[in-house]
Structure 1
Amino acid sequence: MVHITAELDVLNQNISRMKTGGEENAADSRGPYITRVKLESDYKSAMAPVQFRQRLSSFPGDLGEEDRMYFILVENIKHHQLILVYIKKLEELMRTSIFIILLSNALSICLHVLGLAVMLQEGVDLPSVLKMLITFPAYSCETGLYCMFGQAIIDQSERLVDSAFNCDWINMGPRFRRSLTIFMLQASQPLNVKVGKRVILSRHTFLRLLNGSYSLFNMLHGVQK
């Protein structure tokens, strides 16, 4: 998940740097593609074969300025497509295991709070209370860790449209603008990682899990009374 966040950050920089004129811009736009090559090689070796043709060593010498910028846009779109495939494969790996972890953590938080409330009512047992206070943040941090990394992916993917708008599209031809518009439409849907086919790892999910744990605690506390 951290790797995907870094790839999206690199993609945002590559897209926003698409500007006409000068070898400096060409070098800036070409350099960060090394990260994409690393992502593709890792995916081929660890996941499944994905065929993407690369032309990363140098731009063809006979390209004009407009063709060169269109070539850079195509490479950025390929990078984005590769990230989409990577997220899909990551969801397949995390779909069941992380969903079970989040569900069990929510239940553990509820039971620990319930046990702490019962102990405080019946009489303070200091060692047991300390155990409850120590384990409660552990479950909360583990749940929040996954949701925090999921939120980072959403935040970086939401920047793609702004990065595309900040490039030098106004000085490009119709072919570049048309392709950029299609990319912006695709990027307008933020990327996210789903577990259990329905739960999106995000800040909102973390708050919902805490709220659900508190609601379950209220129900069990009422039954216990």
Structure 2
Amino acid sequence: MITTFLGIGGVALVFFYLGPVIQNVKDNRLKAAAAANETLDPLLGRNLAMLLWWPRGQPVGAPAYQLAYVGVCYWLMLLYLSTSTLDTFYVTLIIYLSSQLKVLNIDFLSIAEGADGGGDDDDDDSLVEQGRPLSRPETVHKLPVKLPNAYDKTKAQRTHERLLECIIFHQEVIKSVDEMESILSASILVQFLASTLVICFTAFVITTAENKQDLPTYITYLATMFYELFLYCWYGNELLAESERLQTSAYGCGWSDAGAGFQRTLRVAMARLQRPICLTAGKFYKISRETFLLLLNGSYSYFALLHQMNDR
């Protein structure tokens, strides 16, 4: 998905570069056909990749125009690289955090299994010192034989320790998400609002443009803005979904066979797990797929309003 996002942005950048060149060829043919006409626009055949404000007017002279064109193209390339690199970096961090929550879900479900497998050597030594057999009936036989009290105690300790490790892991993920929230919250809110307006205006230009030559440029640019919102919302929803799964995973850890201390700790942990971890845009929107649909609905509303005003 990220590769597609970068590819669409690169194609849009190429269209921004080539659009003025193609238009200049057509303008030069028009100027050659009407060479004696003195009322031709001096900017005819001097198109740039983006409309900019120039203090003394857009340059049209021989070296000045070419330098301005190269400068505008270079500025567009820097703009594309800076925005796309930041977006992909932040989305990668969101993917990483959601992956950590996937691991935490697995850890919660395997608490009892991990307690069965770890620390066997220490248990064997303690059983030998007490003169008890090393074989564990529940693994060798299928009969419900009661284990020695010493083994029950060490297994309960290991189970409780694994639960505490999961809780500490969860706290570290919460700290990471909070830190990322403090960095991204305001900027993502501005980006969401700006992208909503840009999608609206770009779609309006596509549907009302008389010059069909610029349509590929606008279409690829619209797809880039669309995909930019989609990446954040899709993987932000993955983070939210994995966080909401933690309650079910913790409940399925085999707590019914654990001790009272384990159950008390699990109740406290599940009280915190009821609050899912998520990233927000300025505390106004949760970054999720529902937010993506909400933003698209907002863009369409503005788009319909512009069309009504244009028709009048």
TM-score (norm 2): 0.57
Once residues 215 and 22 of structure 1 are traced to their aligned partners in structure 2, the CA distance between those partners, rounded to angstroms, is 56
Whole-angstrom CA distance in 2 between matches of 1:118 and 1:67: 71
Structure 1 residue aligned with 2:294, among 205, 208, 223? 208
SS of residue in 2 equivalent to 1:64: helix
Name 2:307's counterpart in structure 1.
Answer: 221
Structure 1 vs Structure 2 CA RMSD? 1.7
Quote the offset at 1:97 in angstroms.
Answer: 1.5
**Residues 172-220 of structure 1, C-alpha deviations (whole Å, 9 max, x = no match):** 0111111112211211222110121211100000000000000011111
Distance 1:70 1:94 in 2: 36
Residue 75 of structure 1: aligned partner: 165
CA contact (8 A) 1:21 1:65 kept: no
* 1:120-171: CA deviation from partner (whole Å, max 9, x where unpaired): xxx4x33222222211111000001011111010111111111112112111
Matched, 1:139 2:139: no
Instruction: Specify the alignment match of 1:192 in structure 2.
Output: 278
2:243 corresponds in structure 1 to 157
Q: Deviations over 1:99-131 (max 9, x none)?
A: 111111111100011111212xxx4x3322222
Q: Distance in 1 between matches of 2:103 and 2:303?
A: 43
Structure 2: gaps of 5 or more residues: 1-93, 120-152
1:90 — aligned with what?
180
Q: List, as ranges, runs of 4+ consecutive aligned residues in structure 1 with deviation greater than 4 Å.
A: 20-23
SS at match of 2:245: helix
Residue of structure 1 equivalent to 2:72:
none
Change over 3 Å in CA distance of 1:99–1:130 after alignment to 2: same
CA contact (8 A) 1:20 1:168 kept: no
Contact preservation (8 Å) 2:115, 2:159 = no
Q: Which amino acid aligns with 1:16?
A: L
Determine the C-alpha separation between the residues in 2 that align with 1:167 and 1:204.
31
Quick check: 2:116–2:155 contact (8 Å CA) kept in 1? Answer: no
Match of 2:105 among 12, 16, 21: 12
Q: 1:134 to 1:193 in 2, by over 3 A?
A: same
* Candidates 176, 197, 201, aligned match of 1:107: 197
Query: Which amino acid is 2:99 matched to?
Result: A
Aligned partner letter, 2:109: S
Specify the alignment match of 1:57 in structure 2. none
User: Once the two structures are superposed, what CA deviation does each residue of 1:14-64 show, in whole Å capped at 9, x if it has no partner?
Assistant: 11001168653x38xxxxxxxxxxxxxxxxxxxxxxxxxxxxxxxxxxx71
In the aligned structure 2, how far is the partner of 1:154 from the partner of 1:22? Answer: 29
Mapped partners of 1:202, 1:111: distance in 2: 24
2:198 partner amino acid: S
Amino acid at match of 2:161: F
CA contact (8 A) 1:70 1:176 kept: yes
Q: Structure 1 stretches of 5 or more lacking a match? A: 28-62
For the pair shown, which has the larger CA radius of gyration, 1 or 2? Answer: 2
The DSSP-based 3-state class of the residue aligned with 1:19 is helix
| Cα displacement (A) at 1:70 | 0.6
| CA–CA distance in structure 2, aligned partners of residues 5 and 21 of structure 1 | 23
* Pair 1:97–1:21, CA change in 2 (3 A): closer
